[in-house]
Amino acid sequence: MGCGRVGSSLARSLEERGHSTAVIDTNPDAFRRLGPNFSGITVAGVGFDRGVLIEAGIERADAFAAVSSGDNSNIISARVAREQFHIENVVARIYDPGRAEVYERLGVPTVATVPWAADQVLRRLLPAGSESAWRDPSGEVRLDGIYAPVRWIGQPIDRLEKEAKVRVGYLTRLGSGQIAHSDTVIQEGDFLSVFMREDHAEAAHRILEAGPEDN
């Protein structure tokens, strides 16, 4: 539900992956964002109206995403899909972080757009290591995203891992993600996703900044 920039992009991405998709929006002109090659269903109407949902095929759907610009519409639509049509895989986009937390506790998975965007910008503004990208439930392991430290360019991944006592899970190079192997040579511009222990994070980042021991 919702054929704005997020909804239209989501629908096209699902279709590219071989899924059949139906899109609901109150404004028929919004469907132009789907492009001429979109082969799914488009239904003009309110996304929490039972008749509109049935016309869109909700009764045979595997998942439902409410991504309109309105928090109320999104959460009502998500609850109707979950509670009346028994769709198990439901997600709603919510702008208000406080409300998102409430609906998460009610069992409706939400994407809190504003906090997520602010967090992504924050990670790029602050020095490497200031904010982790992820922590495990115990709080003992963290994942940090860092651009390849200058002093490590030209070095193999396994040397960085051994000296900094970290594990590089994967890297992004020229916009393409790839699994990091022990003999992968770090290149300028690489974005590394690095796992480390929380209690070792400060020391790890000092080593990453300082470079290999013989330097």
Residue 22's nearest CA partner among 53, 68, 67 is 53
- Predicted TM-score of the model (pTM): 0.60
For the cut 70, the answer to whether the pLDDT of residue 40 exceeds it is yes
Q: DSSP string of 80-149?
A: HHHHTS--SEEEEEES-HHHHHHHHHTT--EEEHHHHHHHHHHHHHSPTTSS-SEE-TTSSEEEEEEEPP
For the cut 70, the answer to whether the pLDDT of residue 56 exceeds it is yes
> What is the per-residue pLDDT across 132-147, written as a single tens digit (0 to 9) for each?
778 887 889 999 988 8
Fold designation for 5-119: Rossmann fold (3.40.50)
Average pLDDT of the segment spanning 24-52: 96
Is the CB of residue 178 less than 8 Å from the CB of residue 137? no
Instruction: Provide the total of helices (H) and of strands (E) in the chain, helices listed first.
Output: 7, 10
Q: How far apart are CA 168 and CA 142, in angstroms?
A: 12
Q: How far apart are CA 89 and CA 103, in angstroms?
A: 15
Residue 49's nearest CA partner among 75, 28, 80, 23 is 80
Share of the chain above pLDDT 90, in %: 68
Is the CB of residue 191 less than 8 Å from the CB of residue 199? no
pLDDT of residue 100: 78
> What is the per-residue pLDDT across 159-185, written as a single tens digit (0 to 9) for each?
999 999 999 999 999 888 999 999 999
- The residue ranges of every structural domain in the chain are 5-119, 126-210
What is the CATH number that goes with domain 126-210?
3.30.70.1450
